[in-house]
Chains A and B, each alone.
Chain A
């Protein structure tokens, strides 16, 4: 058994599931825990963890997939940019299928736009260096996990003196939407499975205010099956004891204070702003835009473009799904008009989207 296999040990996992069942056996109403990270959503589906938990524990998915929470308006701007003849759009793969108001990057690529999947923003910087007659735009989407590498790409482009590398930034930061959801009277969340990679950057202390102001238990949890179930067990124990505190299950990676170097880089290159979240709306201070001193790298400012009028897709319940109020299976479009190959909403697009996971593994 190697290191990672030990976190997937069947006996350990089933032992944890049995303990959770024993702890919750007398509950008349289920405890509802929300995972706010797409990788957790995938892990829960991929390992079939719901099928191991008792009915007294319900896991719901929140706004933790960066692709899913990216609004149509951002896609529309990216699509407008890709139609410029001297622009190369570079992106992580997930973004290509996301529908904007009337098209997607995948569709634009089929029509001839130069859109390339890269595996790191530094590849996009390299592409800009190799193509001085083109403007290379990287689609900077993601939470605190990916934002530092994109900040790094801007610093690298500056160090190389490149004037043809740009980022269309729409980074989101995590604790704010959790506060909004906690304050929502229509939503019962008895605890958060807090994101692992995001927490490695921002530190577990970032969730303390949720426990204090909203009395909701928080456990920073890893992605392996034993991690997730141990995180659930810690949440169950807090809920049963009437406690609300932050605990770190994922102590092999996450510290209370987070990663100071990455935080400093984010503070240098980005500035917080009131970001629009798909289906949720504008949340004050919940996004990162490029700081004024790096404005020359900001695609939105540096490359003026006519963006089409915003259209929202009728009947799509992504917003309610991202808030954990509705299950993918309750959406009238799920599996019919909305499938991974022809998605109506972003939750069906990303491999980490709630609906994509439910479609692929949950049926």
Chain B
């Protein structure tokens, strides 16, 4: 087979994305600081600790239940900064518009962006707009970059998970991916599921007082909870064991996944975070999360059970055990 081409799966956030990053992008760009496996780079500029992150948004369709590409582009970068325990300060926004795109739709997207930025408490301070000829883009692509202030001395990092730690998620998984899929042409399932897109910096701010008990924060976006936990297990060199019955999943998400043969553990989220916390502080972390409006369905979904190999496994609903791997390529609906 020809392995010389970029495939859609290289952007899925799963194993192919990792391969592209590790085999091509990082080796070529190693002379500049790269975020590596974390959501943002940590910079120390003149004694001031900053987090810096960038992300591009190419979602299809651009409007979906509960949100659109605009609020997604704000919340996504705010969350990447927040996952370093940083306080997001300001963002840049770059638009790539396709010739013929409607101004009315752009206005709606901009209004959502303004509202999302206000909610997150960040300022949009610089930006750029390019227009490409008809057929050379897909209506609208948005890039956002952000800077956040790191005001703690904690080691919040994908490599900090320790044996015994509890894994907490702030709510139901898979809502964003299923909301977008439901709105896609040809499917039009009325699942009632809305995107969970939200800025998580408020939830993170409420967790920071846990101090050194807070080991890892990560938002499980593309690739879903499974891929994110696999990354953390590899980075930390630990075994993670999930408890399937404790995974919070909306019935609508379960239903659509069951019809299409998708696994909710691999479906994207845009307003969820995984917090890996020392066991003695786990109950408190859960209580703190549940007091926040974005964490009322928070649950402990597993724990770090060993020091070996970067393995993730799941005790299934019925008491069996199975492995959990990274997303391979795109999740594709099955044939029957």
Contacts from A to B (Cβ < 8 Å) = 2, 8-10, 13-14, 38-39, 42, 45-52, 66-67, 92-97, 99, 102-104, 106-107, 109-111, 117-120, 123, 141-143, 145-146, 197, 225, 339-342, 344, 350-352, 356, 359-363
Contact = CB atoms under 8 A, between A and B. Distances in A.
B329 interface: yes
A46 B264 CA distance: 12
Interface residues of B, number: 40
Nearest to A39: B336
A14 B323 contact: no
Nearest to B188: A119
B336 A145 contact: yes
**From DSSP, what is the main secondary structure of chain B's interface residues?**
loop
B328 A340 contact: yes
Contacts of B325: 359-361, 363
Contacts of B317: 8, 10, 47, 225
B322 to A, nearest CB: 4
Contacts of A117: 332-333
A119 B320 contact: no
B15 interface: yes
Interface in B230-267: 245, 251, 260-261, 263
A39 B260 CA distance: 12
**Taking each of A14, A106, A111, which has the highest tally of chain B beta carbons within 10 Å of its own beta carbon?**
A106
B107 to A, nearest CB: 29
A326 to B, nearest CB: 20
Nearest to A343: B1
B9, B334, B336 pick with most chain A CB within 10 angstroms: B336
Interface in B1-57: 1-3, 5-9, 14-16, 19
B186 interface: yes
Given A110-B7, A119-B186, A362 B335 contact: no
24 contacts: A10-B318, A39-B336, A42-B261, A50-B320, A51-B322, A52-B319, A52-B320, A93-B332, A94-B332, A94-B333, A94-B335, A99-B1, A103-B1, A104-B1, A107-B2, A117-B332, A118-B186, A120-B186, A146-B335, A146-B336, A225-B320, A344-B1, A351-B332, A356-B328
B5 A13 contact: no
Given A47-B322, A351-B334, A361-B322, 15 more contacts: A10-B318, A38-B334, A38-B336, A46-B316, A47-B320, A48-B320, A49-B318, A92-B333, A94-B332, A95-B335, A103-B1, A119-B187, A145-B336, A340-B328, A340-B329
Contacts of A110: 5-8
A103 B320 CA distance: 38
Contacts of B315: 48
Nearest to B260: A119
B322 A352 contact: no
Interface string B298-336: 000000000000000011111111111100111111111
Interface in B71-120: none
Contacts of A50: 320
Nearest to A225: B318
Contacts of B318: 8-10, 13-14, 47-49, 52, 225
A225 B318 CA distance: 8
